Amino acid sequence: MAKKQFKTGEKAPETGKYKVDELVNGKRSQEKTEINLNEGDQFPPSPSESEAAYWVKSS
């Protein structure tokens, strides 16, 4: 099953830890940081690249 991605600017569907899967511009991200979001929080840009990113739930 494909992992569900969430784009920078979207709201988190549930509370949990999320990590960058890839950048929206198609480049691979070297980002390893996990962030904690609460349900309804907005996904930020990638912390290290400051670019729009696709996020996935990590736990």
Per-residue pLDDT of 12-59, as tens digits, reads 999 999 999 999 998 888 878 899 999 999 999 999 889 999 999 997
**How confident is the model at residue 32, as a pLDDT?**
83
Where in the chain are the domains? Answer: 6-57
> Which pLDDT tens digit goes with each residue over 19-28?
999 999 988 8
Q: What is the pTM of this model?
A: 0.88
pLDDT of residue 2: 63
Tokens 């569900």, located at residue: 4
Tell me how far apart the alpha carbons of residues 45 and 1 are, in angstroms, rounded to a whole number.
Answer: 25
- The residues that bridge with 57 in the sheet, in sequence order, are 18
